[in-house]
Chain A
Amino acid sequence: MAEPVLQVENLVKRFGSLTAVDSLSLEVQAGEVFGFLGPNGAGKTTSIRMMCGLLKPDEGRVLLHGKPLLGGDPETTSRVGVCPQEIVIWKKQTCMEQLLFIADMYGVSRKTAKQRAESLLEQMHLSEKRNKLAKTLSGGMQRRLNLILALVHDPDIIVLDEPEAGLDPQSRVLVREFIQDMASRKTVILTTHNMDEADRVADRVAIIDHGKLLLVDTPEELKKQAGTGDVLEISLSGATEESIAKARETLQSFTDDIIVHDSTLQVRAHGLIEKMPTVLETLHQAEIVPCEMNWRPTTLEDVFISLTGRGLRE
């Protein structure tokens, strides 16, 4: 197993009577993409701010490459790049000016900074805007600039807080591909509400709610452990009520989780895809002929909802 680059030990952060983060412990390994999921107000951003040293925990500590983050060596802490959820740019600086400025603040030589800035602008399709004031860029462009400002010093660990928020579909694809490319070379910590994105890119995913870590594992393992199973929808259009009741009774040999909407049965169970031939055979023997069948595997969103509930937050 790779060495942990980031160790979070029993982090606690309180704001008055609210405990925003409650005994959070986790490790992020070198070179992995670590997804950090949770509903609004779950404590994701507070945790991220403590992990990169912007917020002081009330209890616990964060170790970066084995060294304490707070009061630690600036050399170590500057190996983290943070892309905040909000657009944090200097609106009255051009794209190039602010990339060179922030690179200088990280101690990157002018020549290297210029090369990196050009490359990042190119990758984010902002080259033509290099000498434009940031305030004149569109919202999507500003978000892309926001992202590369976190990368110009070539950090080892990149923290991306909702990197796709507010992006149009084209920009979203561009940013997603950029993150995937980056993930092959860097350690990436990603907070997102986009479960598909987390499922697709994250090596491991942590789900937190009410400041507590609920689960942390690979997306596949999470789906196995906490998922409610695959969903099979069987449409019995035109069937009589007796036939539908009979179909339901027949399918109860596989699972009790069956919901009937009009003439459609929604069956939920783990490993349904493997059981599909048996299901079809059983239905056939019961002389039930489905008009249409849809199958979808359990998703990270199902896991997320099952762990955090359906209640609206914030």
Chain B
Amino acid sequence: MTAPTVRFTDERLANGLRLIVAEDHLAPVVAVCIWYAVGSKNEVPGKTGFAHLFEHVMFQGSRHVAKTEHMGLVQAAGGTLNGTTWLDRTNYFETMPSHQLELALWLEADRMATLLDALNQENLDNQRDVVKNEKRSSYDNRPYGEWSNKLQAHLFPPEHPYHHPTIGSMEDLDAASLEDVAAFFRTYYAPNNAVLAIAGDVDPAQARAWVERYFGGIAANPKIPPLGDMTVPAILGAESREIVEDQVPLPRHYFGFRAPRFGDPRLEALEVACQILAGGKGSRLYRRLVREERIAQDVAFFALGFVGGASIAAGEATVRPGVDPDVVERAFEEELERLGREPVTADELARARALIETYELEALQRVDERADRLAMFATLLDDPDLINRQLDRYLSVTPAEIQAVAAEVFRPDNRVVLTYMPASGPAARSADEETAA
């Protein structure tokens, strides 16, 4: 089985907008995906959560699009859409029936060119409330909800741009002003800070003409401030531990490690290791902790790739009732460290490769995933063709490479252990609770 090659064109408009077009006509659908090279890492102290709040403002209209009309027009055209914010980037995407491509391009261009015309205090206040409710839903009111924010804070020092969570803090969200929004937009939402990828049922010449028409006249920002040096030592230096009391019935450990940066082949070896460790019922952690020793209710292990400083390798295990949490922690860590001591078996590696191949093929079936990956590889690594080499890179990972990266990463002095324990009494009111905004 071979993966179909994704053929694409890659060019820049005069204003710096990078345009990638991948044509295929299997289904009458087309995906538009625009990545801006700005994320929570670009936020400054006192303004955390801003990149994400801004993403919400991007759906509040622009000069020729009324509030909520962006959603309405896309849905009335039979399309789907959303936007997401992460440490390294913010992205916006629409998947459309192919005859509606021009609408999606126009909508993206209108907000890149004229967002501030529609910005007002009412919309900002409204989306601030929505985002605060998103924070309550996704973190504050959810058992174990703070784990990822806590891991980030342990793995990166306070002055590092990856230290704070993308969702931000309630205080900082409250402090965001219209001037902040305008300045953020003028600084980062410029064509030379964006990659536009179009994939699917598209005539490339026509798409290029539309992109030139709608985006060509938008001015570049020649003064996008560079980020400071994000380098951190490859290893944390000392183990970091925290016990969290929460409204949870079962204890759970979260593990975090600094890992090689996104794009480093060692991170790909680590991702294969993640498959062998926790990818389904045949994996090592599941087999030992859940099935054989029956000390864990569930296990997981995965990598979150970042381009600045270090990535995060993270895992979790929920402790079964009546089991000593320390026993679960030791078994979990033993399995991680064993990967660094002895090579994986040929059969384990063959199974992991076969599964990874299927996952990749499955993902690349969809136009939205193709557009997203082209934009991702272009934005983060300046190498959109990785979409065609990624699978081979996974498949060529050797037992020695897995062992080497496991030995580098899974060290006690590179480890964060976060242990959630059932709170002894009714939980104290969350520090973030406040009166109605």
The reply to whether chain A is a binding partner of chain B is no
Binding site for A on B (CB under 8 A): none
